[in-house]
Structure 1
Amino acid sequence: MSRLGLTISTVIVGGAIAVMIALGLWQLERMAWKNALLERYAAAADQPAITYPADGSGESLPLYRRSSLDCAEVSGWRHEAGLNADGAVGYVHVADCRRIEGDAAVEIGWSRRPVAGTDWQGGTVEGTIGPDVKYGVRLVADAGLEGLETSAVPSPEAIPNNHLSYAIQWFAFAAIALIIYLLALRRRRKEQA
């Protein structure tokens, strides 16, 4: 390998190692952000109930807060894999609701059947605000409606916080790349000797 080839290889490997270290540091920053978010969510359970949000988007969703809403009309249904209050796996049944304040989602309960609870026509529901793919947030009813069992209460404990392990992986990749490159340089020197 020529001196130019060695220089190019060193720059490429050095750049790759720098990127891996930067990604590890970024994961550590994400870990600090996630810890603060999880602390805020954990404190939400002890806060007073709030008015259900008209808009479930944005940075500071009111997740894990107590709330209530009035579902004027059910406009559709979603049936998703989920847990009941005892942790059993089955299906949660989510009503898409029309309201004066804007559309919302209400998880009315849990069952072992993939489609259930669709006779529910709406009404006032009290519960806990949890995440929802369609609207950003959904209200999970305190008790199962329309003959369904109670769904698991949304909890921030279900949110993974694995940024430390990702950071360690990136730092390990950087160390491995450095070791392999140093071994390759050592082998090159032996072959040239």
Structure 2
Amino acid sequence: MPDPAPRTRHRLPVLATAVVLAAVAMMVWLGFWQIRRLHEKEALLARFAEARAQIAEVDWPAQWPTDPDKGYELTYRRAQLMCSAVTERSSMAGHNAAGESGMAQTARCALPGGGFALVVMGWSQSPMAGTAWQGGEVHGMIAPGQRLVADPPLAGLQPNALPDPADLPNNHLSYAIQWFAFAAMALAIYALALRKRWEKG
């Protein structure tokens, strides 16, 4: 009677194969999802660039829109507001218009009709500079994170670097390539494992 081993030696393990194929399918899906996110991010960056190019100012809203799409319409637009009073001051790491590192000086402003706005007054190499400014009219550009970067700067500070959508990361293509590479590697490793198993018989 012939040995049945030659007919069964190359049989695929059902459970292991199903697990590997499911993992590969998930990686491929994630790769295509990142490509879709790439197109969405490119469209958003183009929208931001168009907003930044507009010269006309908008009024800072008394309340920031809860709808993200409405918020995107304001981001990178030039805007104005009236700071009735400074309720809080802080400083954070930032760059001036020349690209030098230092401290961006910020003020939390109460608005006449209620609500608050975070104003980046300007730039200094010293923390907590520009404390003499107590409020007034502010013109500038809306940055991500609902901040108004003053332009011109306030309180005798140096100009802070204006927000630029070109500085936003867009790594979705590299992420997509990584997921596709992981899927290919998983298939290759599994194929090698099967080959070793079949060679052992």
Question: TM-score if structure 2 supplies the norm length?
Answer: 0.88
Taking structure 1 as the reference length, what is the TM-score of the superposition? 0.91
Q: Is the contact made by 1:20 and 1:174 (CA closer than 8 Å) also made in structure 2?
A: yes
Match of 1:176 in 2: 185
Q: Deviations over 1:115-144 (max 9, x none)?
A: 211221010011111122xxxx11111122
| Deviations, residues 84-123 of structure 1 (Å, cap 9, x unaligned) | 0011111101111111242111100011112211221010
Structure showing greater radius of gyration is 2
- Partner of 2:28: helix, strand, or coil? helix
Query: In the alignment, which residue of structure 2 is the partner of 1:44?
Result: 51
Q: Does 1:89 align with 2:107?
A: no
Match of 2:32 in 1: 25
Correspondence 1:6 to 2:13 = yes
Q: Which of residues 62, 78, 83 is equivalent to 1:54? A: 62
Q: How many angstroms apart in 1 are the aligned matches of 2:149 and 2:11?
A: 64
Amino acid at match of 2:83: C
Counterpart check, 1:129 vs 2:142 = yes
The equivalent of 1:68 in structure 2 is 80
The aligned length equals: 187
CA distance in 2, matches of 1:76, 1:16: 51
List gaps (5 residues or longer) in structure 1. Answer: none
Q: Secondary structure at the match of 2:154?
A: coil
How many percent identity over aligned positions? Answer: 47
Asked if the contact 1:20/1:170 (under 8 Å) is kept, the reply is: yes
Cα deviation for residue 55 of structure 1 reads 2.7
